[in-house]
């Protein structure tokens, strides 16, 4: 068993390169630095930064599965959006308090993730991709056609964010605090013994099975945890937009989260924030200059995939590693 663990640790060395203590210190420094941003940014830029944090968590939740369990999901947009729908619905239609709405939203998203997981954990590779895609489309279809509840094409509107949170800076800090805690939780999760079994499954399912692990159960729990985090991101998104429509649960949402994760670097976790930053900022700048902004984004992805297939953070790491080796 201990040999096994040591072996696993070796194969996933990059994520473990820095000691936990140093990682935490760097993390705390980054959070403090990011917390200073609202002091220099305009209201609109604070809004963008908030959105980056929210989508960073979505991308990170996808990374739990893609980077650590080797399962690429195209259904996380739907899980994310389910939470958004439930929050907006419970707050604006039912009239619950936003905090309770958020709780229900996260529960609903985790529930949807459980259903997805039950159906998808026995598959892998392209089958997993297609199955999650199909399940996501079902959620989208329900949101689009169940008009009396979801408002159909028009979606739902409401004042989810109210009171002190209307001040963009305070909202940003609140989101940052939540995101910091969540990132730490996700980071701890993938480094935990349970997280290591996920990596074991990624590297060799049959080996894990012959070692006596219940592979589907581990994947199920991994999926559930991933869905839980995506749900929190979706719930916060409801606070951010005060609005939800089928485009929030659509395939494009899943794809966007996936692309952010890939651009940042699969399996790097914090690369998700780099990817989210790059994509959201690029979208916003380019689309004001040309209506062909989607082509520009497409080209940017191609360039990233050719020159840095391991993602931005992955590339930076590789550089640093090379530097270290040549010194040694």
Partner 1 sequence: MDRRAFLQTSSLSLAAIGVGLSPWSRSAAQGAPIKIGLMAPLTGVVASGGREMVEGTQFFLEQNKNQIAGRKVELIIEDDGSNPDVSLQKARRLVEQSNVHFLIGDLLANTGLAVSNYVKGTGTPYFIPIIAVDDLTQRQRIKNVIRVAGYSASAFTHPLGDWALKQGYKRFVTISQDYSFGHEQCGGFVQTFTEGGGEIVQQFWHPLNTSDFSPYLGQIADMKVDAVFAMETGADATRFIRQYADFGLKRKFPLIGAMNTTDQAVIRTLGAECEGIISPAHFAEGSDNPVTQKFVKEYNEKYKKMPSLYGFSMYSGIMWIAQALEKIGGKVEDRDAFIDSVMKTELTNSPLGKSVKLDSYGNPIYDVYIRKVVKGPGGKFWNVPTETYPSVSQFWKYDPETYLKQPTYSRDFQGIKKKG
Residue 327: its H or E element: helix 311-327
Rounded to the nearest whole angstrom, what is the least distance from the CB of residue 186 to partner 1 in the complex?
A: 13
- For 166-218, the DSSP string reads GSHHHHHHHHHHHHHHHHHHHHHHHHSHHHHHHHHHHH-HHHHHHTT--HHHH
Task: Sketch the per residue contact string, 109 through 148, with partner 1: x for CB under 8 A, - otherwise.
Answer: --------------------------------------xx
Does 242 participate in binding partner 1 (rule CB under 8 A)?
A: yes
Query: Is 113 in contact with 216 (CB distance < 8 Å)?
Result: no
C-alpha–C-alpha distance, residues 9 and 95, integer Å: 49
Count, residues near partner 1 per rule CB under 8 A: 55
Rounded to the nearest whole angstrom, what is the least distance from the CB of residue 3 to partner 1 in the complex?
A: 29
Instruction: Select from 277, 281, 286 the least CA-distant residue to 311.
Output: 277
Give the residue, chosen from 35, 47, 173, 213, that forms a contact with partner 1 under the rule CB under 8 A. 47
Rounded to the nearest whole angstrom, what is the least distance from the CB of residue 228 to partner 1 in the complex?
A: 23
Return the residue matching tokens 């649960």: 249
DSSP state of 242: S
25 three-state secondary structure = helix
Does 169 participate in binding partner 1 (rule CB under 8 A)?
A: no
Give the residue, chosen from 72, 90, 226, 241, that forms a contact with partner 1 under the rule CB under 8 A. 241
Does 45 participate in binding partner 1 (rule CB under 8 A)?
A: yes
C-alpha–C-alpha distance, residues 315 and 59, integer Å: 18
C-alpha–C-alpha distance, residues 82 and 30, integer Å: 31
Stretch that binds partner 1, among 97-105, 106-114, 188-196, 235-243 (CB under 8 A): 235-243
For partner 1, the binding residues (CB under 8 A) are 18, 26-27, 29-30, 33-34, 37, 40-45, 47-49, 51-52, 147-148, 152-155, 157, 166, 241-243, 245, 247-248, 265, 268-271, 273-274, 277-278, 281, 284-285, 287-288, 291, 293-294, 312-313, 316-317, 320
């Amino acid at each position: 068993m201990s040999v096994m663990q040591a072996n696993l640790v070796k194969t996933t060395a990059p994520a473990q390169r820095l000691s936990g203590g140093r990682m935490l210190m760097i993390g705390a420094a980054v959070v403090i630095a990011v917390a200073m941003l609202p002091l220099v940014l305009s209201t609109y830029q604070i809004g963008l930064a908030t959105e980056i944090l929210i989508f960073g968590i979505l991308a990170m939740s996808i990374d739990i599965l893609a980077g650590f369990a080797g399962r690429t999901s195209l259904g996380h947009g739907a899980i994310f959006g389910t939470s958004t729908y439930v929050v907006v619905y419970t707050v604006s239609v039912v009239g619950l308090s936003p905090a309770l709405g958020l709780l229900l939203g996260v529960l609903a998203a985790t529930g949807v993730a459980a259903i997805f997981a039950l159906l998808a954990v026995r598959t892998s590779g392209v089958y997993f991709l297609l199955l999650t895609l199909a399940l996501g489309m079902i959620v989208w279809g329900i949101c689009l056609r169940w008009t009396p509840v979801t408002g159909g094409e028009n979606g739902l509107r409401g004042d989810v964010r109210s009171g002190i949170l209307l001040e963009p800076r305070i909202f940003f800090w609140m989101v940052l605090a939540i995101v910091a805690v969540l990132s730490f939780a996700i980071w701890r999760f993938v480094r935990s013994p349970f997280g290591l079994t996920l990596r074991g499954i990624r590297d060799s399912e049959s080996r894990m099975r012959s070692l006596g692990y219940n592979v589907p159960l581990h994947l199920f729990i991994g999926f559930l945890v991933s869905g839980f985090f995506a749900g929190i991101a979706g719930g916060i998104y409801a606070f951010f937009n005060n609005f939800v429509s089928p485009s929030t649960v659509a395939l494009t949402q899943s794809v966007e989260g996936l692309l952010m994760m890939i651009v940042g670097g699969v399996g790097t976790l914090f690369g998700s924030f780099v990817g989210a930053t790059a994509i959201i900022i690029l979208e916003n700048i380019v689309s004001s200059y040309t209506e062909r902004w989607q082509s520009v984004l497409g080209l940017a992805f191609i360039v990233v995939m050719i020159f840095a297939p391991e993602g931005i953070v992955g590339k930076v790491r590789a550089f640093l590693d090379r530097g270290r080796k040549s010194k040694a």
